Amino acid sequence: MEQTETFAQIKRKTLISTLSLFFQSGYSAFLGLAANLVVTILLTPKIFGMYIATLSLISVLNYFSDIGLAASLIQKKEVSNDDIKTTFTVQQCMIIVAVSLGFLISNVVKGFYKLPTEGVYLYWALLISFFISSLKTIPSIFLERKIKFQRIVLVQIIENTVFYLSVIIFAVLRFELTSFTFAVLLRAVTGLILIYILSPWQPTFGISKKSLKQLLSFGIPFQASSFLALFKDDLIILFLGKILGFEALGYIGWAKKWAEAPIRIIMDNISRVLFPVISRIQHDKAQIGKVIDRILYYQTLILAPTLITIAIFMQKMVFIIPKYGKWEPALPLFYIFCLASLFSSYSSPFMNLFNALGKVKITFTLMFIWTVATWILTPLFTRWFGYSGFPYVLLIIASSSLAVSFIAKRFISFHFFKSIYKSLFATFCMGIVLLLTMQIILNVYMSITFSLTLGALTYYAMLLYLFNINLVKELKSLFVK
């Protein structure tokens, strides 16, 4: 697969792909918001905690479905049919083993977490959807290598529509935890059919020793980092579910889900496009430096004001939304997670940079340090601070992730502070205005409306008059350059 595209062509595809992903994220966020509201209104924190724990358990099995071969295909400059065939065969063998193991330990999982029958059915449904989704890997890789994320986006939009509408409908019909069971199965089948329509591929089996050796040279260190991320993020959730109980885990899951929503929408999409883009231009260090500068600039421009806004308004929303007062105990956790989200967003571009440049040993080392720190600190902080302990640990780990930029300086020249300080200062001023106006205006609905309007105007004005940054022109420049 020859890479003959110019940087201008790659940039155009990158823009289209990124905007497509943002559109999908915005659409999914709207549906997710509606579904999350319905579910967290109708379900108890304990049932929501069961759902969070089950998802984390499936993430553990997901690790064993791959050994980094898919990422190797994206990172390689050229791929052959042997590479594709080998990746698919090895991955499916591992998937079957992982799913079989998942079903075999069903009784162990049920007894360990004291899951009801509905919880076991959800666990089984996620295992089945896990297998179905694995069949989408190769068609998706073809689209990612061509930086045609808009087609992947179309699949995700329809998948998410099916999933969230199913959750809402079944929750309203009082299926409770079983709502998720039906939704995940419908989503998996829908996505599989669509991806093969948009990216046709005839599955073939076989293993080339030469291809496998080349793919594993990148894949194993990459997957080792993924394993550490799994150990740090998902296994710790299972640990908390056991020692704190599902109700406390429900509070943690609610706070973490809302606080990380902006970075899931913004950073996950940027990172998803950034990895194949830098892989395509890995020979041009100057261009990579410019890409990193723009990523840091735009993510701060969007992410910082978004996080400060939801942090300030969440308390009012908890009391405005019917039956949402039960989540008030999770508000302190939510504020900590918001700050942690901002810090952690600055490590994502550099982790993708290391992987795209083939420096996977660096990402592994960093993930190892963060994982060890998480597992040492979480039990201690949980004993000292209860269910607030884990958010504090996450904040500490996220703060330390800023050091990643210093390591990246060894390979690429970029301007970290220069790219972010203007937006951060404007966000700080915006936050002060939001807090002051909410204190002055007592009517809840008027204070929210007026504060949002005045806050947005403050942010725009600060950027324009202090730093000569016109947000409208910035947006237009994306399409012109």
Q: Provide mean pLDDT across the span 330-337.
A: 89
46 neighbors 178 (Cβ within 8 angstroms): no
Domain presence at residue 115: no
Give 164's contacts (C-beta < 8 A, 6+ positions apart): 28, 31, 32, 34, 35, 183
Domain presence at residue 224: no
Rounded-to-integer distance, Cα 301 and Cα 357, Å? 26
Name which of 151-165, 220-234, 433-447 the model is least confident about: 220-234
HSE (CB half, 13 Å, CA atoms) of 160? 21
359 neighbors 221 (Cβ within 8 angstroms): no
CA nearest neighbour of 249 among 52, 35, 39, 109: 52
Residue range(s) defining the domain that contains residue 468: 245-481
In whole numbers, what is the pLDDT of the chain averaged over residues?
Answer: 76
pLDDT at 442 over 90: no
Quickly state the pLDDT bin for 465 (edges 50, 70, 90).
confident
* pLDDT at position 233: 65
Rounded-to-integer distance, Cα 246 and Cα 254, Å? 12
Write the pLDDT tens digit of every residue in 133-158: 888 878 887 777 666 666 777 887 88
Q: Provide mean pLDDT across the span 411-419.
A: 84
Domain presence at residue 336: yes
Instruction: Report the range out of 232-236, 281-285, 304-308, 364-368 with the highest average pLDDT.
Output: 304-308
pLDDT at 12 over 60: no
Q: Provide mean pLDDT across the span 68-84.
A: 64
Q: Provide mean pLDDT across the span 308-335.
A: 81
Q: Provide mean pLDDT across the span 171-175.
A: 80
Domain presence at residue 191: no
Rounded-to-integer distance, Cα 146 and Cα 159, Å? 22
DSSP for 427-461, please give it.
HHHHHHHHHHHHHH--SHHHHHHHHHHHHHHHHHH
Give 446's contacts (C-beta < 8 A, 6+ positions apart): none
Phi, psi (degrees; rounded to nearest 5) at 56: -65, -35
Domain presence at residue 356: yes
* pLDDT at position 425: 93
pLDDT at 159 over 50: yes
Classify each residue of 194-210 as buried b or exposed e, where b means 16 or more C-beta atoms within 10 Å of its C-beta: bbbebbeeeeeeeebee
pLDDT at 101 over 60: yes
Rounded-to-integer distance, Cα 270 and Cα 425, Å? 23
219 neighbors 69 (Cβ within 8 angstroms): yes
Q: Both tokens of residue 57?
A: 């358990």
Quickly state the pLDDT bin for 367 (edges 50, 70, 90).
confident
- Domains in the chain, number: 1
Rounded-to-integer distance, Cα 92 and Cα 69, Å? 12
Domain presence at residue 255: yes
CB neighbours (10 Å) of residue 146? 15
In Å, what is the CA distance from 37 to each residue of 32, 279, 320, 325, 373?
A: 8, 39, 12, 12, 34
Q: In terms of DSSP H, where are the helices of 43-116?
A: 45-63, 69-75, 81-104, 106-113
Domain presence at residue 395: yes
| The model's pTM | 0.63
Give 294's contacts (C-beta < 8 A, 6+ positions apart): 419
Rounded-to-integer distance, Cα 469 and Cα 411, Å? 29
Domain presence at residue 222: no
CB neighbours (10 Å) of residue 92? 17
Rounded-to-integer distance, Cα 363 and Cα 353, Å? 10
